[in-house]
Chain A
Amino acid sequence: MITFEEAGFSYADTPILKNVSLNVEPGSFHFLTGPSGAGKTTFLRLCYLALRPTSGRVVHYGRDAATASRDDITRIRRKLGVMHQNCTFLDHLSVAENVILPLDVTERRQSQSERNRDELLDWVGLSTRSSAKPPELSGGERQRVALARAVMSSPDVLIADEPTGNLDRDMADRLLMLLIELNRLGKAVIVATHDIALIRAAKGQVAARVLRLKGGSLSQAGAEL
């Protein structure tokens, strides 16, 4: 699905990522950890084609990111669900409208889409907040809405950047369970986090690979996790 082949990214001659090789396969679960500024967000941006690598290759569904056209990028993004760190919403739309947006903007809304959306809102525990506007939501609620929106279009890969950053422990564990549930449905999940407790909580429940980014280089995390 997504393959990194010695991929790197530099910004103004400053290397952010170096020689990253990784294969994201269907049904895989990856945790990406590392200190702030290690390049986690850059790695994820390469995953959802917000950046092109400056060295090596990143291949999405057989298309090299370096030469992918705008149409290719649009097609690939329709197979990805992304939870951004800052959870950007369309503030003039309600929670329910924001959640169904990935189907609306790709003109894929069907008769059962609204029922699916309501089930998703129930799944993330926000069925009573469906008519609220995003500015009225708490940080935790925003992250759960972002998760519902990311999976609304039934993507092959779910990419989450610090999904538990604004959540308390209970809510973080609950969100983790939602991610694991998705993974059991065959979706690939990539979670960038520096929440070690979250990674430990996942142990024994899902066969996750834990990767560490340090100084722009990717390595398998050690036994300390």
Chain B
Amino acid sequence: MLWRRISGDPAAERIVPASGVSAWLIALSALAMAALAVAALSASLAASRLAERWSADLARGATVMLTAEGTRLEDETNRALAALQTTPGILSARVLPRDEQNALLAPWLGEGVSLDLLNVPRMIVVEETGDGPDLEALSLRLRAEAPSAQYDDHARWRRPIVLVAERLMWIAGGALALIAAATAIMVTLAARAALAANTQVIQTLRLMGATDGFIARAYIRRFTLRSLIGGLIGVVLAATAFAFLPDPGAGNAFTTGLAPQGREWLWVMLVPLFVAGVTYLSTRIAAARMMSALDDI
């Protein structure tokens, strides 16, 4: 229906005098706006991807830290391990070996420092099932079995990360809305200028029995097609630039490429239609308002 309205009436466009540079300025604006929209969309998709990855990585794991001293440490470790392994919602639990713990602390303490010389807490690495354990019940049980044990489900890490990612998505969404608004404003100004320059032509056409819809379609078709062409070029340029951005590496848990991935490209391909849709609506509204304001009847 929309495409029929945009493309199906070449006779309508023929009646409108060439709008000079304004129609091509629309194409250039659409190009710029489409490129910016691709950037905003890519940022939004990347933020969403990053949030998902970080959240998923952290959500699957938990840590139990034991701070008891001397022989009590070994006892509490064994009891806590047993409690964890029999708790529903826990997939696996293992004591973090000394060498792994050394490797984790090496960046802060330096290589070759024996943890036996330091009072370093014992760590149990826990992998949760999808639903996870009943944290309240587990805490009570651990407090009874191993008073020095502290269960950390990484929620305090996960929450701000997800919050930041969500904010990034909102910012990108806001940028898209601003791009749509800027496009609408530019198209409206261009359409009003073109219509104002052709008032006499419009009045002549009306006297012949042309409907306002027919006259408006001429402008809608011209502007929307130019906008679509500009949008397509803008998307191709932006997508090419993003496709050649350096890849941070698949194994890197903390970063993700800015370029859209897989099915995300479908969203990018919708950008020219989005820009053309905004142009269609803006031209239609501007034309309807301009023609209803003409003082002839």
Tell me the A residues contacting B by CB distance below 8 Å: 48-52, 70-71, 73-75, 77-78, 82, 84, 88-93, 97, 101-102, 104-107, 109, 153
Instruction: Check B207 against A101 for contact (C-beta < 8 Å).
Output: no
Instruction: Check B296 against A105 for contact (C-beta < 8 Å).
Output: no
Instruction: Check A91 against B297 for contact (C-beta < 8 Å).
Output: no
> Given A82-B207, A84-B207, A105-B208, 4 other A-B contacts at CB below 8 A?
A50-B296, A77-B208, A91-B17, A105-B210
Any chain A CB within 8 A of the CB of B211? yes
Give the docked Cα–Cα distance between A200 and B109 (Å): 118
Instruction: Check B210 against A106 for contact (C-beta < 8 Å).
Output: yes
Instruction: Check B297 against A49 for contact (C-beta < 8 Å).
Output: yes
Residues on the A chain within 8 Å of B15, using CB: 90, 93, 101, 104-105
Across the interface, name the chain A residue whose C-beta is closest to B11.
A104
Any chain A CB within 8 A of the CB of B214? yes
What does the 1/0 interface line of B178-203 toward A look like (CB < 8 Å)?
00000000000000000000001101
Any chain A CB within 8 A of the CB of B75? no
Across the interface, name the chain B residue whose C-beta is closest to A49.
B297
Q: B10 to nearest A CB, angstroms? A: 11
Instruction: Check A90 against B297 for contact (C-beta < 8 Å).
Output: no
Q: A102 to nearest B CB, angstroms? A: 4
11 residue pairs bridging A and B, Cβ less than 8 Å apart = A50-B297, A88-B203, A90-B15, A90-B201, A92-B17, A93-B14, A101-B205, A104-B11, A104-B15, A105-B15, A106-B214
**Also in contact, A102 and B201, with CB within 8 A (given A51-B297, A107-B214):** no
Within 8 A of A (CB), among B48-102: none
Across the interface, name the chain A residue whose C-beta is closest to B215.
A105
Give the docked Cα–Cα distance between A153 and B201 (Å): 19
Q: A148 to nearest B CB, angstroms? A: 13
Give the one of B17, B200, B203, B211 with max A CB within 10 A: B211
Give the docked Cα–Cα distance between A48 and B296 (Å): 12
Instruction: Check B207 against A50 for contact (C-beta < 8 Å).
Output: yes
Residues on the B chain within 8 Å of A52, using CB: 297
Q: B289 to nearest A CB, angstroms? A: 14
Residues on the A chain within 8 Å of B203, using CB: 88
Instruction: Check A88 against B17 for contact (C-beta < 8 Å).
Output: no
**Also in contact, A77 and B207, with CB within 8 A (given A52-B297, A101-B15, A104-B15):** yes
Give the one of B11, B207, B210 with max A CB within 10 A: B207
- Which residue of A51, A93, A106 is within 8 Å of B208 (Cβ)? A106
Within 8 A of A (CB), among B201-221: 201, 203-212, 214-215
Instruction: Check B205 against A88 for contact (C-beta < 8 Å).
Output: no
Give the docked Cα–Cα distance between A153 and B215 (Å): 18
Residues on the B chain within 8 Å of A101, using CB: 15, 205, 208
- Which residue of A73, A89, A153 is within 8 Å of B297 (Cβ)? A73
Q: A177 to nearest B CB, angstroms? A: 25
Any chain A CB within 8 A of the CB of B18? yes
**Also in contact, A90 and B17, with CB within 8 A (given A50-B296, A52-B297, A73-B297):** yes
Instruction: Check A77 against B11 for contact (C-beta < 8 Å).
Output: no
Residues on the B chain within 8 Å of A51, using CB: 297
Residues on the B chain within 8 Å of A93, using CB: 14-15
Residues on the A chain within 8 Å of B212, using CB: 70
Give the docked Cα–Cα distance between A78 and B201 (Å): 17
Give the docked Cα–Cα distance between A93 and B15 (Å): 8
What does the 1/0 interface line of B275-297 toward A look like (CB < 8 Å)?
00000000000000000000011
Which are the 10 A-B pairs with shortest beta-carbon distances? A78-B209, A105-B210, A77-B209, A102-B208, A92-B17, A106-B209, A88-B204, A105-B205, A105-B208, A104-B11
Give the docked Cα–Cα distance between A89 and B15 (Å): 11
Q: A163 to nearest B CB, angstroms? A: 16
- Which residue of B17, B18, B209, B297 is within 8 Å of A105 (Cβ)? B209
- Which residue of B14, B18, B209, B215 is within 8 Å of A102 (Cβ)? B209
Q: A90 to nearest B CB, angstroms? A: 6
Q: B22 to nearest A CB, angstroms? A: 15
Q: A186 to nearest B CB, angstroms? A: 20
Instruction: Check B200 against A88 for contact (C-beta < 8 Å).
Output: yes
Give the docked Cα–Cα distance between A31 and B15 (Å): 33
Residues on the B chain within 8 Å of A91, using CB: 17
Give the one of B11, B208, B212 with max A CB within 10 A: B208
Give the docked Cα–Cα distance between A101 and B207 (Å): 11
Across the interface, name the chain B residue whose C-beta is closest to A48.
B207
